[in-house]
Structure 1
Protein backbone atom coordinates (compact mmCIF):
# COMPACT_ATOMS: atom_id res chain seq x y z
CA UNK A 1 0.00 0.00 0.00
CA UNK A 2 2.80 2.39 0.93
CA UNK A 3 4.65 1.51 -2.25
CA UNK A 4 1.61 2.45 -4.39
CA UNK A 5 1.26 5.72 -2.51
CA UNK A 6 4.97 6.47 -3.03
CA UNK A 7 4.79 5.64 -6.76
CA UNK A 8 1.67 7.82 -7.15
CA UNK A 9 3.31 10.68 -5.28
CA UNK A 10 6.45 10.47 -7.43
CA UNK A 11 4.38 10.35 -10.61
CA UNK A 12 2.54 13.52 -9.59
CA UNK A 13 5.68 15.37 -8.45
CA UNK A 14 6.48 16.91 -11.85
CA UNK A 15 2.99 18.39 -12.00
CA UNK A 16 3.46 20.05 -8.62
CA UNK A 17 6.97 21.23 -9.44
CA UNK A 18 5.87 23.28 -12.44
CA UNK A 19 5.75 27.02 -12.02
CA UNK A 20 2.27 28.50 -11.94
CA UNK A 21 1.15 29.79 -15.31
CA UNK A 22 1.76 33.46 -15.99
CA UNK A 23 -1.16 35.57 -14.88
CA UNK A 24 -3.38 36.44 -17.82
CA UNK A 25 -2.80 39.85 -19.31
CA UNK A 26 -5.71 42.15 -20.04
CA UNK A 27 -7.01 42.32 -23.60
CA UNK A 28 -9.43 44.68 -25.31
CA UNK A 29 -11.44 43.85 -28.41
CA UNK A 30 -12.44 46.34 -31.09
CA UNK A 31 -15.23 44.98 -33.28
CA UNK A 32 -15.19 44.87 -37.07
CA UNK A 33 -18.24 47.18 -37.03
CA UNK A 34 -16.30 49.86 -35.11
CA UNK A 35 -13.38 49.57 -37.52
CA UNK A 36 -15.68 49.77 -40.55
CA UNK A 37 -17.36 52.90 -39.17
CA UNK A 38 -14.00 54.64 -38.67
CA UNK A 39 -12.81 53.59 -42.12
CA UNK A 40 -16.03 54.78 -43.79
CA UNK A 41 -15.52 58.30 -42.40
CA UNK A 42 -12.41 58.62 -44.62
CA UNK A 43 -14.36 58.30 -47.87
CA UNK A 44 -15.20 59.40 -50.50
CA UNK A 45 -11.83 60.78 -51.60
CA UNK A 46 -11.65 62.91 -54.78
CA UNK A 47 -8.43 63.66 -56.63
CA UNK A 48 -7.73 65.16 -60.01
CA UNK A 49 -4.88 65.24 -62.49
CA UNK A 50 -4.58 68.66 -64.11
CA UNK A 51 -8.22 68.86 -65.19
CA UNK A 52 -7.73 65.81 -67.42
CA UNK A 53 -8.75 63.10 -65.02
CA UNK A 54 -10.75 62.95 -61.83
CA UNK A 55 -10.89 59.98 -59.48
CA UNK A 56 -13.54 59.39 -56.85
CA UNK A 57 -12.72 56.59 -54.42
CA UNK A 58 -15.66 55.48 -52.28
CA UNK A 59 -17.81 52.73 -50.77
CA UNK A 60 -15.28 50.97 -48.57
CA UNK A 61 -15.63 47.34 -47.68
CA UNK A 62 -13.58 46.19 -44.70
CA UNK A 63 -10.87 43.57 -45.17
CA UNK A 64 -9.46 41.85 -42.09
CA UNK A 65 -6.20 40.07 -42.89
CA UNK A 66 -5.06 38.12 -39.80
CA UNK A 67 -2.31 36.33 -41.75
CA UNK A 68 -0.65 39.69 -42.48
CA UNK A 69 -1.82 41.34 -39.24
CA UNK A 70 -3.27 44.21 -41.29
CA UNK A 71 -6.64 45.65 -42.08
CA UNK A 72 -7.72 46.75 -45.50
CA UNK A 73 -10.38 48.40 -47.57
CA UNK A 74 -11.98 47.26 -50.77
CA UNK A 75 -12.93 50.45 -52.61
CA UNK A 76 -14.89 51.50 -55.68
CA UNK A 77 -12.90 53.71 -58.08
CA UNK A 78 -14.73 55.96 -60.55
CA UNK A 79 -12.59 57.78 -63.11
CA UNK A 80 -13.86 60.47 -65.46
CA UNK A 81 -12.65 63.48 -67.40
CA UNK A 82 -11.40 64.59 -70.82
CA UNK A 83 -8.55 62.04 -70.73
CA UNK A 84 -11.13 59.22 -70.85
CA UNK A 85 -13.60 58.59 -73.64
CA UNK A 86 -16.13 57.19 -71.18
CA UNK A 87 -16.17 57.10 -67.37
CA UNK A 88 -14.41 54.04 -65.97
CA UNK A 89 -15.29 52.06 -62.87
CA UNK A 90 -13.09 49.57 -61.05
CA UNK A 91 -12.06 48.24 -57.65
CA UNK A 92 -9.08 49.06 -55.47
CA UNK A 93 -7.80 47.05 -52.50
CA UNK A 94 -5.66 48.81 -49.89
CA UNK A 95 -4.11 47.49 -46.68
CA UNK A 96 -2.92 49.36 -43.60
CA UNK A 97 -0.51 48.60 -40.78
CA UNK A 98 -1.77 49.21 -37.22
CA UNK A 99 -0.33 50.83 -34.12
CA UNK A 100 -1.30 52.18 -30.71
CA UNK A 101 -0.65 55.88 -30.04
CA UNK A 102 -0.21 56.48 -26.30
CA UNK A 103 -0.43 60.30 -26.47
CA UNK A 104 -4.16 60.24 -27.29
CA UNK A 105 -4.92 56.56 -26.48
CA UNK A 106 -5.92 55.63 -30.03
CA UNK A 107 -5.56 52.74 -32.43
CA UNK A 108 -4.35 54.02 -35.78
CA UNK A 109 -4.12 52.74 -39.33
CA UNK A 110 -1.05 53.91 -41.23
CA UNK A 111 1.24 53.07 -44.17
CA UNK A 112 -1.47 52.43 -46.79
CA UNK A 113 -0.36 49.95 -49.44
CA UNK A 114 -2.11 49.21 -52.74
CA UNK A 115 -2.78 45.48 -53.07
CA UNK A 116 -4.72 45.44 -56.31
CA UNK A 117 -6.44 47.70 -58.84
CA UNK A 118 -8.98 46.13 -61.17
CA UNK A 119 -10.25 48.24 -64.10
CA UNK A 120 -12.05 45.86 -66.45
CA UNK A 121 -12.48 47.21 -69.97
CA UNK A 122 -10.32 50.29 -69.38
CA UNK A 123 -7.93 51.19 -72.21
CA UNK A 124 -4.26 50.70 -71.19
CA UNK A 125 -3.37 54.42 -71.40
CA UNK A 126 -6.35 55.32 -69.17
CA UNK A 127 -5.45 52.61 -66.67
CA UNK A 128 -1.90 53.98 -66.58
CA UNK A 129 -3.17 57.51 -65.81
CA UNK A 130 -5.38 56.16 -63.02
CA UNK A 131 -2.47 54.16 -61.56
CA UNK A 132 -0.39 57.36 -61.59
CA UNK A 133 -2.87 58.97 -59.15
CA UNK A 134 -2.87 56.08 -56.67
CA UNK A 135 0.29 57.08 -54.74
CA UNK A 136 -1.21 60.54 -54.19
CA UNK A 137 -4.49 59.09 -52.96
CA UNK A 138 -2.78 56.69 -50.55
CA UNK A 139 -0.50 59.47 -49.30
CA UNK A 140 -3.54 61.71 -48.71
CA UNK A 141 -5.19 58.96 -46.66
CA UNK A 142 -2.15 58.99 -44.40
CA UNK A 143 -2.66 57.88 -40.83
CA UNK A 144 -6.09 57.89 -39.22
CA UNK A 145 -7.80 56.88 -36.00
CA UNK A 146 -9.71 53.60 -35.93
CA UNK A 147 -10.62 53.66 -32.25
CA UNK A 148 -10.06 55.92 -29.26
CA UNK A 149 -10.04 54.20 -25.90
CA UNK A 150 -12.17 55.74 -23.20
CA UNK A 151 -10.72 56.27 -19.72
CA UNK A 152 -13.15 53.58 -18.54
CA UNK A 153 -11.79 51.02 -21.04
CA UNK A 154 -8.24 51.58 -19.79
CA UNK A 155 -9.00 52.02 -16.06
CA UNK A 156 -8.74 48.37 -14.98
CA UNK A 157 -5.58 47.53 -16.95
CA UNK A 158 -4.03 50.78 -15.69
CA UNK A 159 -4.72 49.94 -12.04
CA UNK A 160 -3.26 46.46 -12.67
CA UNK A 161 -0.06 48.10 -13.99
CA UNK A 162 -0.59 47.41 -17.69
CA UNK A 163 -0.55 49.55 -20.82
CA UNK A 164 -1.72 48.79 -24.39
CA UNK A 165 1.02 47.01 -26.29
CA UNK A 166 0.32 44.82 -29.33
CA UNK A 167 -2.50 45.04 -31.87
CA UNK A 168 -3.58 41.76 -33.47
CA UNK A 169 -6.00 41.42 -36.38
CA UNK A 170 -8.64 38.72 -35.88
CA UNK A 171 -11.34 37.37 -38.18
CA UNK A 172 -13.95 39.55 -36.45
CA UNK A 173 -12.03 42.65 -35.35
CA UNK A 174 -8.91 43.69 -33.50
CA UNK A 175 -7.45 42.58 -30.20
CA UNK A 176 -5.20 44.85 -28.17
CA UNK A 177 -2.91 43.01 -25.76
CA UNK A 178 -1.52 44.80 -22.73
CA UNK A 179 2.00 44.63 -21.32
CA UNK A 180 3.43 45.64 -17.94
CA UNK A 181 4.06 49.38 -17.80
CA UNK A 182 7.76 48.88 -17.12
CA UNK A 183 8.39 47.06 -20.42
Structure 2
Protein backbone atom coordinates (compact mmCIF):
# COMPACT_ATOMS: atom_id res chain seq x y z
CA UNK A 1 0.00 0.00 0.00
CA UNK A 2 1.35 3.41 -0.90
CA UNK A 3 1.51 6.29 1.52
CA UNK A 4 0.51 9.82 0.48
CA UNK A 5 1.02 13.04 2.44
CA UNK A 6 -0.03 16.65 2.49
CA UNK A 7 1.25 19.61 4.43
CA UNK A 8 -1.39 22.37 4.71
CA UNK A 9 0.75 24.98 6.49
CA UNK A 10 3.25 27.24 4.70
CA UNK A 11 6.53 28.05 6.36
CA UNK A 12 7.21 31.46 7.87
CA UNK A 13 10.80 32.75 7.76
CA UNK A 14 10.50 35.72 10.17
CA UNK A 15 11.78 33.89 13.29
CA UNK A 16 14.64 32.48 11.23
CA UNK A 17 15.62 35.92 9.98
CA UNK A 18 15.61 37.38 13.48
CA UNK A 19 17.86 34.55 14.65
CA UNK A 20 20.25 34.86 11.75
CA UNK A 21 20.46 38.65 12.01
CA UNK A 22 21.72 38.04 15.52
CA UNK A 23 24.25 35.58 14.11
CA UNK A 24 25.55 38.22 11.72
CA UNK A 25 25.92 40.73 14.55
CA UNK A 26 27.75 38.14 16.68
CA UNK A 27 30.08 37.39 13.80
CA UNK A 28 30.79 41.11 13.50
CA UNK A 29 31.93 41.10 17.12
CA UNK A 30 34.20 38.14 16.38
CA UNK A 31 35.70 39.94 13.40
CA UNK A 32 36.36 43.06 15.49
CA UNK A 33 38.05 41.00 18.18
CA UNK A 34 40.29 38.87 16.01
CA UNK A 35 42.99 41.58 15.85
CA UNK A 36 43.77 41.10 19.53
CA UNK A 37 42.71 37.46 19.83
CA UNK A 38 43.51 35.39 16.70
CA UNK A 39 42.14 32.22 18.31
CA UNK A 40 38.69 33.82 18.64
CA UNK A 41 37.99 32.92 15.03
CA UNK A 42 39.04 29.29 15.48
CA UNK A 43 35.53 27.94 15.98
CA UNK A 44 32.83 30.64 15.74
CA UNK A 45 29.37 29.32 16.55
CA UNK A 46 25.78 30.24 17.35
CA UNK A 47 22.94 28.53 19.22
CA UNK A 48 19.43 27.63 18.06
CA UNK A 49 17.14 27.29 21.08
CA UNK A 50 14.83 24.34 21.68
CA UNK A 51 11.89 26.72 21.21
CA UNK A 52 13.10 27.77 17.76
CA UNK A 53 13.52 24.13 16.75
CA UNK A 54 10.04 23.37 18.10
CA UNK A 55 8.56 26.18 16.04
CA UNK A 56 10.32 25.08 12.85
CA UNK A 57 9.22 21.44 13.15
CA UNK A 58 5.69 22.43 14.21
CA UNK A 59 5.17 24.32 10.94
CA UNK A 60 5.32 20.98 9.09
CA UNK A 61 2.23 19.58 10.83
CA UNK A 62 -0.51 18.36 10.78
CA UNK A 63 0.13 15.68 8.14
CA UNK A 64 -2.16 12.88 6.90
CA UNK A 65 -1.17 9.49 5.53
CA UNK A 66 -3.57 7.04 3.86
CA UNK A 67 -3.38 3.26 3.64
CA UNK A 68 -5.18 2.45 0.38
CA UNK A 69 -8.47 3.93 1.59
CA UNK A 70 -8.63 1.43 4.45
CA UNK A 71 -7.04 3.55 7.16
CA UNK A 72 -5.81 7.09 7.73
CA UNK A 73 -3.15 8.28 10.16
CA UNK A 74 -3.23 11.95 11.16
CA UNK A 75 0.04 13.21 12.66
CA UNK A 76 0.07 16.40 14.71
CA UNK A 77 1.59 18.30 17.65
CA UNK A 78 5.25 17.22 17.44
CA UNK A 79 7.08 17.78 20.74
CA UNK A 80 10.84 18.37 20.51
CA UNK A 81 13.23 17.05 23.18
CA UNK A 82 16.98 17.57 23.38
CA UNK A 83 19.24 14.53 23.81
CA UNK A 84 22.67 15.99 24.72
CA UNK A 85 23.99 12.62 25.89
CA UNK A 86 23.43 11.22 22.38
CA UNK A 87 24.05 14.48 20.50
CA UNK A 88 20.66 14.03 18.85
CA UNK A 89 17.15 15.46 18.90
CA UNK A 90 13.92 13.63 19.65
CA UNK A 91 10.32 14.26 18.74
CA UNK A 92 7.13 12.58 19.90
CA UNK A 93 4.26 13.13 17.45
CA UNK A 94 0.59 12.58 18.26
CA UNK A 95 -1.09 10.03 15.95
CA UNK A 96 -4.84 9.57 15.33
CA UNK A 97 -5.81 6.41 13.42
CA UNK A 98 -9.21 6.11 11.70
CA UNK A 99 -10.91 4.49 8.71
CA UNK A 100 -12.91 1.43 7.55
CA UNK A 101 -10.22 -1.01 8.70
CA UNK A 102 -10.80 0.22 12.26
CA UNK A 103 -14.59 -0.14 11.99
CA UNK A 104 -15.23 3.60 12.16
CA UNK A 105 -13.42 3.93 15.47
CA UNK A 106 -10.60 6.38 16.23
CA UNK A 107 -7.46 5.34 18.07
CA UNK A 108 -4.84 7.66 19.56
CA UNK A 109 -1.14 7.01 19.88
CA UNK A 110 2.34 8.46 19.38
CA UNK A 111 5.26 8.21 16.96
CA UNK A 112 8.61 8.48 18.77
CA UNK A 113 11.64 9.38 16.61
CA UNK A 114 15.27 10.43 17.22
CA UNK A 115 17.19 12.38 14.58
CA UNK A 116 20.27 14.46 13.91
CA UNK A 117 20.94 17.34 11.52
CA UNK A 118 22.86 18.05 8.37
CA UNK A 119 23.66 21.20 6.42
CA UNK A 120 22.54 21.41 2.78
CA UNK A 121 24.83 23.91 1.08
CA UNK A 122 22.77 24.11 -2.13
CA UNK A 123 19.97 26.04 -0.42
CA UNK A 124 21.69 26.80 2.92
CA UNK A 125 19.27 24.90 5.10
CA UNK A 126 19.62 22.84 8.27
CA UNK A 127 17.65 19.63 7.82
CA UNK A 128 16.60 16.62 9.90
CA UNK A 129 18.41 13.44 8.90
CA UNK A 130 19.60 10.04 10.22
CA UNK A 131 16.21 9.14 11.70
CA UNK A 132 15.77 6.32 14.21
CA UNK A 133 12.29 5.02 15.06
CA UNK A 134 11.88 4.36 18.78
CA UNK A 135 8.34 3.13 18.33
CA UNK A 136 4.80 3.68 17.07
CA UNK A 137 2.48 3.11 20.00
CA UNK A 138 -1.32 3.01 19.63
CA UNK A 139 -3.82 2.77 22.46
CA UNK A 140 -6.58 0.15 22.29
CA UNK A 141 -5.74 -1.48 18.95
CA UNK A 142 -5.82 -5.25 18.66
CA UNK A 143 -2.45 -6.99 18.37
CA UNK A 144 -2.80 -7.80 14.65
CA UNK A 145 -3.59 -4.23 13.59
CA UNK A 146 -0.93 -2.75 15.86
CA UNK A 147 1.66 -5.11 14.40
CA UNK A 148 0.68 -4.03 10.90
CA UNK A 149 1.13 -0.36 11.85
CA UNK A 150 4.52 -1.07 13.36
CA UNK A 151 5.68 -2.26 9.95
CA UNK A 152 4.91 1.20 8.57
CA UNK A 153 6.41 3.10 11.50
CA UNK A 154 9.77 3.70 9.81
CA UNK A 155 8.04 4.87 6.62
CA UNK A 156 5.90 7.30 8.61
CA UNK A 157 8.98 8.66 10.34
CA UNK A 158 10.81 9.13 7.04
CA UNK A 159 7.85 10.77 5.29
CA UNK A 160 7.00 13.11 8.16
CA UNK A 161 10.48 14.17 9.30
CA UNK A 162 13.15 13.25 6.76
CA UNK A 163 14.76 16.41 5.44
CA UNK A 164 12.53 18.73 7.50
CA UNK A 165 14.02 22.23 7.24
CA UNK A 166 14.75 23.63 10.71
CA UNK A 167 15.85 26.97 9.32
CA UNK A 168 17.38 28.51 6.24
CA UNK A 169 20.41 30.78 6.01
CA UNK A 170 20.38 33.68 3.55
CA UNK A 171 23.05 35.95 2.08
CA UNK A 172 21.33 38.97 3.61
CA UNK A 173 21.16 37.49 7.10
CA UNK A 174 24.70 36.13 7.03
CA UNK A 175 26.48 38.75 4.94
CA UNK A 176 29.41 38.92 7.37
CA UNK A 177 29.68 35.15 7.65
CA UNK A 178 29.56 34.70 3.88
CA UNK A 179 32.24 37.37 3.54
CA UNK A 180 34.48 35.31 5.79
CA UNK A 181 33.88 32.20 3.69
CA UNK A 182 32.17 30.23 6.48
CA UNK A 183 29.23 27.82 6.66
CA UNK A 184 27.60 25.58 9.32
CA UNK A 185 29.71 22.53 10.08
CA UNK A 186 29.50 20.66 13.38
CA UNK A 187 26.19 20.40 15.30
CA UNK A 188 26.24 19.90 19.07
CA UNK A 189 23.08 19.30 21.11
CA UNK A 190 23.29 20.92 24.55
CA UNK A 191 20.73 21.34 27.37
CA UNK A 192 20.07 24.88 26.08
CA UNK A 193 19.72 24.11 22.38
CA UNK A 194 21.61 23.26 19.21
CA UNK A 195 25.09 24.79 18.90
CA UNK A 196 26.10 25.26 15.27
CA UNK A 197 29.84 25.57 14.77
CA UNK A 198 30.92 27.42 11.64
CA UNK A 199 33.73 26.14 9.44
CA UNK A 200 35.44 27.15 6.23
CA UNK A 201 33.12 26.88 3.27
CA UNK A 202 33.71 23.84 1.08
CA UNK A 203 35.42 24.60 -2.22
CA UNK A 204 33.18 23.60 -5.19
Q: Say whether the fold is shared (TM-score over 0.5).
A: yes
Q: Calculate the aligned-residue CA RMSD, in Å.
A: 2.4
Q: Give the paired residue count.
A: 164
**Separation of aligned partners in 2, 1:46 and 1:114:** 18
Partner residue in 2 for 1:165: 185
| Correspondence for 2:45 among 27, 43, 68 | 27
Partner residue in 1 for 2:26: none
- Displacement of 1:53 in angstroms is 1.5
Residues 74 and 94 of structure 1 are in contact (CA less than 8 Å); yes or no, is this contact kept in structure 2? yes
TM-score normalised by L of structure 1: 0.77
Cα distance change of structure 1 residues 153 and 125 upon mapping to structure 2, 3 Å threshold: same
**Separation of aligned partners in 1, 2:173 and 2:194:** 15
Partner residue in 1 for 2:100: 82
Partner residue in 2 for 1:134: 153
Between stretches 20-29 and 40-49, larger displacement belongs to 20-29
Cα distance change of structure 1 residues 182 and 55 upon mapping to structure 2, 3 Å threshold: closer
Partner residue in 2 for 1:71: 89
Higher strand share: 1
2:71 aligned with 1:50, yes or no?
A: no
Partner residue in 1 for 2:128: 109
2:142 aligned with 1:123, yes or no?
A: yes
Residues 55 and 130 of structure 1 are in contact (CA less than 8 Å); yes or no, is this contact kept in structure 2? no
**3-state SS of paired residue (1:156):** helix
- Displacement of 1:129 in angstroms is 2.4
Larger Rg: 1
**Separation of aligned partners in 2, 1:101 and 1:173:** 20
**3-state SS of paired residue (1:122):** coil
**Separation of aligned partners in 2, 1:150 and 1:100:** 13
**3-state SS of paired residue (1:118):** strand
Structure 2 gap segments, 5+ residues each? 1-36
Partner residue in 2 for 1:12: none
- Displacement of 1:43 in angstroms is 1.4
Structure 1 gap segments, 5+ residues each? 1-19
Partner residue in 1 for 2:80: 62
**Separation of aligned partners in 1, 2:158 and 2:47:** 28
**3-state SS of paired residue (1:138):** helix
- Displacement of 1:181 in angstroms is 4.2
